[in-house]
Amino acid sequence: MSAVMRFSQVRLTAKAVSSGMSARSLASVMGPQIRYFSRSSYAQKSFPDHQVINMPALSPTMTQGGIGAWGKKPGDNIQPGDVLVEIETDKAQMDFEFQEEGYLAKVLMESGSKDVPVGNPIAVLVENESDVAAFADFTIEDAGGAKAAEAPKEEAKEQPKEEKKEEKAAAPKTEAPQKKADETPSKPLERVAASPIARRIASEKGIPLTQIKGSGPNGRIILKDVEAYKAPAAAAASAPAPASASAGVAFTDVPVSNMRRVIGQRLQESKQTAPHYYVTSEISMDKINKLRAALNAQADGKYKLSVNDFVIKAAAQALKEVPECNSAWYGEFIRQHHTADISVAVATPTGLITPIIKSAEARGLASISNSMKDLGKRAKDGKLKPEEYQGGSFTISNLGMFGVDSFTAIINPPQSCILAVGATKDVVVVDPTSEKGFKVEPKMKCTLSSDHRTVDGAVGAQFLKSFKKFMENPLALML
C-alpha cells in the first residue's frame, strides 16, 4: 500500500468520532476544509514520499485557528491516539489527535502561530524514519502554503496599465509615508505553550506565563512549573524609580484569543440585532432548600445536588409548558425545539463556554447534577467535544455563587431566551400565621432575557410563572 493511501484517514477527538465517520466521508459532507492531508505531487523540489498535514476544522464555524503546544517534535514516532498538537479554535483549545502511524518530519507552524486558515499546511508526515532528515530544509512554500497567500498580489499585478495610470493620477502625495508604514512587517504576538490546568492555576495566582520556564515536551509549561515558580524579588527591588516614572501609563496588553474574539463578535451581534426585553421574578427557596438537604443526606456519595441542578430541571419543565421560549430565530423561519437542551454558562480561564445538558426534561436531578459536574470540570480543563457545547435551545447563567442579587444576561444567538439567576437572600415577608406578623424567608431573583422577534412579552411572563411554580413546589419535579 502506498504512503498516500496509508495516510488517507485521520480521526478527531472533537467532531464526528462518535458517529464513526472517516475523514474521507466528512470531506464529502463538509467540503475541502475538513481535509487534513495534501498529496505530495505539488512540491517543486525532490522529497521522499510524504503527506502534508493541514490545519483542521475542529468545529463547523471554524475558519482559522491558533497553534498551541506541539505534542511531538520532528523525528518522533506517531501512534494511533497520540496528541499531535493543541489547536485553539473559535470555541475552545482542543487536542488534535491522530489515528495513523508515521513520523513527524517537519513542523511548519510553530507554537504561538495565530489566525492560521483552515486547510493551510502545519506539518509534514512520513512513513519511514530514515526520510525525516530529508525534510530539514522543507518550507511552507514547498507545501504550497505561500501560493495561496500571494494570490491577491499576483492578481493586483495583472491589472490593466490604464487602471494603474488612473491610480497614479488620483493618488495624493500622502500615500508615500503610508506605503512605508504598510511595508513594515507586523510581528505576531507570541503564544506561550502551556497545559490547560497550568494556564488556569497561573491565571488564578496572577503569574505571567512568559516568566515561567517549561519542563514539558518542547518547553511546554505544565502544572509543576507553575507551582514551583517564584517571583524574581531582586528584579522587582532593583527598579523602583522607572516604575514610579511611568506609573501614569502602567498597563498590560493581553492578546485576544480566537475564543475571546468570537465571544465578543457573537454577543455584540446579539445585542445589536436581537430586540432584548427583560422580566424578573422573585422565588421562594424555602421548600427547595429543605428538599435538597434531605436528598443530599441520603445520597451516600452517589450525587450532591446544587441549587443550579433544580434550576436546570425547573427550566426544562417550564419549556415543556411554554414551548415558544424553546425556540430559535433563523430570519426566514422560527425553529421550535422538541427537547430542552439546556446550555449552562461556565467561566473558564480562556473565556465563557456553555456545555449542554441534553433532554433535561427527561432526566432526573441526580443525572443532571452528575453530568453538570463532569461537563463543568472538562470545560475548565479545555477537554469538551464540540457536540457537548455547540447547539442548545435555552441558556442559564448563574452568578448567585458570587453574591450577585440580580442581573440581565445577553441572549446566546440563535436562541430566544437566557435565564439570569441571582443569589439566595433572606428576606422579611408578611406572615399572618406568626405572632410577630412576619418571618424571614430565603428568596432568589431570576431575570429572563427574551428576543421579542420570537417571544412576546406575555409569553415570557408565562414562562417565568411556570418556572416559579416548579421552583416553589419542587416535588413536582420528581414526577
C-alpha cell at 1: 500500500
**DSSP letter string, 291-355:** HHHHHHHT-TTS----HHHHHHHHHHHHHHH-GGGSEEE-SS-EEE-SS--EEE-EEETTEEE--
What distances in angstroms separate CA 67 from CA 131, 187, 221, 222, 353, one per listed residue?
25, 16, 15, 17, 20
What are the catalytic residues? 452, 456
Beta bridge partners of 356: 343
Is the bond preceding residue 414 a cis peptide, omega within 30 degrees? yes
CB 216 within 8 A of CB 69: yes
Helix locations, 365-440, DSSP H: 365-380
* DSSP-based three-state secondary structure for 442: strand
CB 354 within 8 A of CB 344: yes
Torsion angle in degrees (nearest 10) through CA of 140, 143, 148, 153: 60
Nearest CA-CA partner of 406 in 427, 429, 379: 427
CB 466 within 8 A of CB 473: no
The total number of residues written for the chain in this structure: 479
CB 338 within 8 A of CB 372: no
